[in-house]
Chain A
Amino acid sequence: MIEVRLFATFREGRDKIVYLEPEQASCPADVLDHLKIPHEEVAICLINGFHSKLSDPVKDQDVLALFPPVGGG
């Protein structure tokens, strides 16, 4: 399973953690499409804590963390 952790406004109307089968998503862009999150709204995309592009591969056991822009002060 791929564990998808959503943060801040991405949680609104969705679960905060979503699990996907590897067949359902080969990259973060697939995950975003599955969750109906517009790609341009993603500010931080981490695979296992490392910065990733939306086209980078995700595999079984990976933890994907997605964040909107970092916010104000």
Chain B
Amino acid sequence: MSEESRYSRQILLPQIGEQGQKRLAESTAAVIGCGGLGAPVLTSLALAGVGKLRLIDHDRIGLSNLNRQFLYEESELDKEKCERAADFLRRRNSGIVLETVCERLTEENAGRLLSGVDVIVDCVDRVETRRHAGRAARRLSVPLVEGGVHGFYGFVLSVLPGKSACLECVTAQEAEERGPVPAVGAVAGVIGSLQAVECMKILLGLPHVLYGRMLQYDGLYGEFTEVPVHVRPDCICQS
């Protein structure tokens, strides 16, 4: 199979070209969470030819996942998400390397699970896991792309560790969702796709990454709003 023809439509872009495609092929992205956001992120990055993807998810496939998590089929209920996700991706691009880590990311293992990557994509639904991912990104000096959804709403924020605001810079410590978060598949698709675009910009070295700019999406209003966010000097990311 000709890899050149596979990527020919994106190589046409001056922002990518042959050099950019080579850069993508030599890159590694870690995606934490293979759920509603992880599905569009992983699929977009795999199809774009990001050379190595590390899939991190401890969870198994549940019926309530299937309204949005298009990596999985009804016949795969209760199977490990990251293994099934890797299978889905492998069948769509056999030319990339897929690493699976069927573990929950914790404070203790975050440094190990996220080492050696060029970008980290946070697609999780727990504030605590986001915190561990953010702090590990800071320690490893790896750019991080945050995303979250709640029903018809969502946000994306990219973080250049130590340089631009992280989620902890702007979030109250006690803030946590209560109970299952409402989720619309199409909105997760919007936000996950935006996270994938941010990843590609970071990997390609393109300007205008959403550093210090939280992009809010409101599907009910049909509106994007950019909210500037600044580093908090006493945030742990500044230590």
Contact = CB atoms under 8 A, between A and B. Distances in A.
A73 B218 contact: no
Contacts of B153: 7-9, 71
Contacts of B37: 73
Nearest to B175: A43
Given A70-B127, A72-B150, A73-B125, A49 B227 contact: yes
Interface string A25-58: 0000000000000001011111001110000000
Contacts of A69: 127, 150, 175-177
A11 interface: yes
Contact of A73 (B123, B221, B228, B229): B123
A50 B230 CA distance: 5
B151 A9 contact: yes
A73 B216 contact: no
Interface in A8-22: 8-9, 11, 16
B interface: dominant SS: mixed
A42 B155 CA distance: 16
Given A7-B218, A49-B227, A72 B170 contact: no
Contacts, number: 91
B170 A73 contact: no
Interface residues of A, number: 22
Contacts of A49: 227-230
B38 interface: yes
A49 B169 CA distance: 11
Nearest to A42: B172
B12 interface: no
Interface string B153-192: 1110000000000010111101111000101000010000
A2 interface: no
Contact of B232 (A5, A42, A51, A73): A51
B143 to A, nearest CB: 18
Residue of B35, B150, B151, B169 most packed against chain A (CB within 10 A): B150
B39 to A, nearest CB: 10
Interface of B: 33, 35-38, 122-125, 127, 130, 146-151, 153-155, 167, 169-172, 174-177, 181, 183, 188, 216, 218, 220-221, 225, 227-230, 232, 235
Interface of A: 5, 7-9, 11, 16, 40, 42-46, 49-51, 65, 68-73
